[in-house]
Chain A
Amino acid sequence: MKNKTVIIKDIINSFVSIPKGLWITLVNWSIARPCVTELYPEQKRQLPQNYRGIPVLPVDPKTGKSRCIACGACARMCPEHIITVEIDKSDPKDRKPSEFSIDISRCMWCGLCTEACPVNCLVMGKDFELATYTREGMIYNLEDLMRLGGEFPAEEVVEEIAEEKKEESES
């Protein structure tokens, strides 16, 4: 059983706190608080620099080709075993992949493949709208990955990202 003063306090409290709450929602309701909603398909969010989208193979602007040396480190590193690399053996002096595919449907965007790459040619891209109508559509081959990759980012950017990653792992 509550004593009388507590009950009276409760009653006074309720007469104060309900208008207080109503005032807070009224302020929210007015123009004082802008909407936080992003109208997604029209407005896209500014992605952070180290955002991990689909892993892609950027093109070296000097040669117009990917820098991939088909070493297969990424394929071995991938926890999901979804990267397939085949070596083009036609020119022994120029190691390059004849086939390179990633089954994005099972990718978990961990980024381990990009960390394994010895020539930094596999990077996490910024694309995340990857829905297709078929399962086969989720398998990206060499051309697709190079198209999505676009131009190789300038060395400084690559280094910056690497630096950031290093700092992250150290902290």
Chain B
Amino acid sequence: MDQLIQLAIELVKIVVIAVVVLVFMMVAVLYMVLKLRWVIARIQSRLGPNRTGPWGVLQTVADALKLLQKEDIIPCGADKWLFTIAPALVFIPAYLVYVVIPFGRGMAPSQLAMTHSLGEIGKLPGLSIGVMYLSAISSIGVIGIVVAGWASNNKWSLLGAFRGASQLIAYEVPIILAMVVPVLVSGSMDLSAIVDKQAGGFWHWNLFQLQAGPALPIAFLMLIIAGLAEINVTPFDIMEAESELVAGFNTEYSGMKFALFFLAEFAAAFTLAAIITTLFLGGYNPPLAFLGGQLSGLAFSAVSLFWFLAKCWVLVIFIMWVRSTLPRVRVDQLMNLAWKALIPVGLVNLLLAGAYVTFWMAK
């Protein structure tokens, strides 16, 4: 009986954590969409949304409500079952990735699920295969995209899905090549351990570590470039290129299903920012020690949550900035960039980092 109650408590805790993460994701996405529209508007000398609510802050909430009310159309030639399941196939991996993201010390959802008391926060290790889990789960999303394009029975959708498949598969490789470098240098796949290695001031961050030659900064650049392609924002958004493919793989989608695609896309942008922050920008560590580094226990966890979100937010704004600056590349240029530039550079870079770790790193 006691064990049953224990199990029930565990289950409730996991559900609560899952819901909190989901709510966080939705709020973050709603605000990111709004911020994106503001940023792009300002860059184009416009004002952006400013009507709904004070300064237009309720604009995306209104948009979401509109999408909820919309009729859910399934085109008559579509494969109904696949058409319905595709948004979930895209959304679920984007959501699952959040399991390992260390939002603060001991605050990755996977760690929280194991924690039994407040005192334990920050003392548990993260998922030991964190980086592998990240790259594995985030590459599942492409299946949903291909399914969506195939099931829509629309040539634009299908073309978008094909492009998406080739793009995402091509860019998965440089992303992993770039993510492996900090893993090698830190000697761990556990995201929390990688972050803890970078504690101290910003000069301890992986980005500014030069003992392995330029390996880490190059990996950082590669991760940004390939990551932009992976989350398909504008310089690399060929799979939903509006001017060529209507809306790409989600042309036929409307209402809630479309909202799920949209949610997944922006959630992926946040995930990218979170991965870059964790691997290269010191994760939840404050940039200067006196900005919270002297704290310990729960207080540090709270401060670290703030720093993590702040760094992610800066990166998200940077992604928006790039997105509103660069024009879209052609399909062949995109493929060339991945196979002819990023992957060879990544391999050489990996060799460099490997050589450093094997021969020179202080044992």
Query: Interface residues, chain A, CB within 8 Å of chain B?
Result: 18, 21-22, 24-26, 28-29, 33-37, 39
Contact = CB atoms under 8 A, between A and B. Distances in A.
A39 B49 CA distance: 11
A39 B47 CA distance: 9
Given A24-B325, A35-B45, 13 more contacts: A18-B326, A21-B325, A21-B326, A22-B325, A25-B321, A25-B325, A26-B321, A29-B39, A35-B42, A35-B46, A36-B45, A37-B47, A39-B47
Contacts of B39: 29
B322 interface: yes
Interface residues of B, number: 13
A25 B43 contact: yes
Contacts of A21: 325-326
Given A18-B326, A22-B322, A22-B325, A29 B47 contact: no
B11 to A, nearest CB: 48
A93 to B, nearest CB: 58
Interface in B20-67: 39, 42-47, 50
Contacts of A36: 45-46
Contact of B43 (A29, A37, A39): A29
Given A18-B326, A21-B326, A28 B321 contact: no
B interface, by DSSP: helix, strand, loop or mixed? loop
A62 to B, nearest CB: 47
18 contacts: A18-B326, A21-B325, A22-B321, A22-B322, A22-B325, A24-B325, A25-B43, A25-B321, A26-B321, A28-B42, A28-B44, A29-B39, A29-B42, A33-B45, A35-B42, A35-B45, A36-B45, A37-B45
A28 B45 CA distance: 7
A interface, by DSSP: helix, strand, loop or mixed? helix
A152 B43 CA distance: 46
Q: Most B CB atoms within 10 A — which of A21, A24, A29?
A: A29
Nearest to B327: A21
Interface of B: 39, 42-47, 50, 321-322, 324-326
B47 A35 contact: yes
A34 B45 CA distance: 7
A19 to B, nearest CB: 10
A26 B325 CA distance: 9
- The 6 tightest CB contacts between A and B, nearest first, are A37-B47, A25-B325, A25-B43, A36-B45, A29-B43, A21-B325
A138 to B, nearest CB: 28
Contacts of B321: 22, 25-26, 29
B45 A25 contact: no
A24 B42 CA distance: 12
Contacts of B50: 39
A31 to B, nearest CB: 10
A81 B325 CA distance: 51
Nearest to B39: A29
Contacts of B47: 35, 37, 39
Contacts of A34: 45
A37 B321 CA distance: 20
B214 to A, nearest CB: 14
A33 B47 CA distance: 12
Contacts of B44: 28
